[in-house]
Amino acid sequence: MLSDGALRMLVLLHFNALGFSPVQLAWLFLLYEVAGVVTNLAAGWLAARFGLAATLYAGLALQIAALLGLTLLDPAWGIAASVVFVMAVQGVSGVAKDLAKMSSKSAVKLLAPTEQGALFRWVAVLTGSKNAVKGLGFFLGAALLALAGFDAALWGMAAVLAAILLAVVLFLPAGLPGRVSSKESWSGWRSRDLRVNRLSLARMFLFGARDVWFVVGVPIYFQSVLSDGTAEGRREAFFLIGGFMALWIIGYGAVQAMAPRLLGGKAQPEAAITRKAILWSGLLVPIPFALALAAWAAGGPAPWLTGTLIAGLLLFGFVFAVNSSVHSYLILAYGSAQRITRDVGFYYMANAAGRLIGTLLSGVSYQIGGLGLCLATAGLLALASWLAARRLAPDRDGMA
């Protein structure tokens, strides 16, 4: 997660400084998100056949390959060739990240204690710490770009990740499950549980609502405000933008870890947590719409708009984090142990599809209508997530 966040910020800021448009920047991450959709479908099946340790090793190895691959980028190439090459390498990175994430999340279901509330606590801690580390990666990527440059940063991260892979191979606990018993074939990729399918739909729109501003729109707005166009100004902007994105992700992770306490206690029945998932999904909807109105009222970059944007996005992050943590608990609560890797894989496929939708709409909406349209689009996706979450209500289809 550290290298994933660092690589994303490194690529975004480096290619924005080279003059890539918002749509071109979105294209750089397109295959990364497409790879996430495919990988999460395949990863559940692969883990069921070959074991969670194997998919974890594969994820780390592929991330090293992606980092080294980007060092081959030639500045003499044209924009079209550069975009295609970086898209392909980012696709490998997307596969790597989702293999590692699916492995860790599935292991929690199989290893967590069985007493009531234990699964929610374990999921909250894992998800929160994962995103806190990813947030540090955002700052690390921006800092490495400013201090060491693009190529040196890539080589350094690849070396560190290689050492981590070696340590994981040598010291991985023996209790991590191997192959998961399952009689289902590849054709059983879609869950038979309506709750899993509905939760996955809500998750898709939730992450679309985040990434539609997170991937391109807001970072590019901040760079236009913070950089004066000089080399020194760009370096300062890299630090400030990376710092904000890191703060947002770290705060998001911290809130996720505290979600069981924020929601009123650890040992709550599944139905009560489902109702709270619906409530918190609705609380997210007005925030991006309010920020879009502020952006349209400002008519362009302004100090008060920047301050409002920072405060509003931190509030968005708080509510989003609670939603995300509850979703991460519910997918493991709904999923059966016999096909947990398949259900988690399907759920994270929807998660990746949401990021794909958000990535595409981020570049397009910012190019067409600027920051205001970007944030309004986030509001529409948050609304769609709430409507999907309402179908999780415990009294639907006889669910308890």
| Tens of each residue's pLDDT in the chain, 400 residues | 566 767 777 787 778 777 777 777 777 777 777 877 887 777 666 766 777 777 788 888 988 998 898 888 887 888 788 888 888 888 888 888 778 776 766 666 555 555 555 666 666 666 656 666 666 777 777 777 778 888 888 898 888 889 988 888 887 766 555 555 555 554 555 566 788 889 999 999 999 999 999 888 888 898 888 877 777 777 788 778 878 888 888 888 888 878 777 777 556 777 888 888 899 999 999 999 999 999 999 988 888 999 999 999 999 999 999 999 888 888 877 866 666 667 777 888 888 889 889 988 988 999 899 999 999 999 999 999 999 999 987 655 544 3
3-state secondary structure of 162: helix
Contact indicator for 50, 348 with CB cutoff of 8 Å: no
- Which letter does DSSP use for residue 193 in this model? -
**Structure token pair of residue 296:** 């349209």
Q: Give me the residue label for tokens 């703060």.
A: 247
Contact 5, 135 (CB under 8 A): yes
pLDDT at 213: 92
For 108, residues 6+ apart whose C-beta sits below 8 A from its C-beta are 119, 122, 123, 126, 332
Measured between alpha carbons, how far is 340 from 109 in angstroms, rounded to an integer? 8
293 vs 386: CA distance, rounded Å? 21
> Which domains are delineated in the chain?
2-173+192-398 (1.20.1250.20)
Q: What is the pLDDT of residue 115?
A: 57
Q: By the 8 A CB rule, do 165 and 57 touch? A: yes
Q: What pTM value is reported for the model?
A: 0.75
Residue 347's pLDDT is 84
Structure tokens of 353? Answer: 């599809």
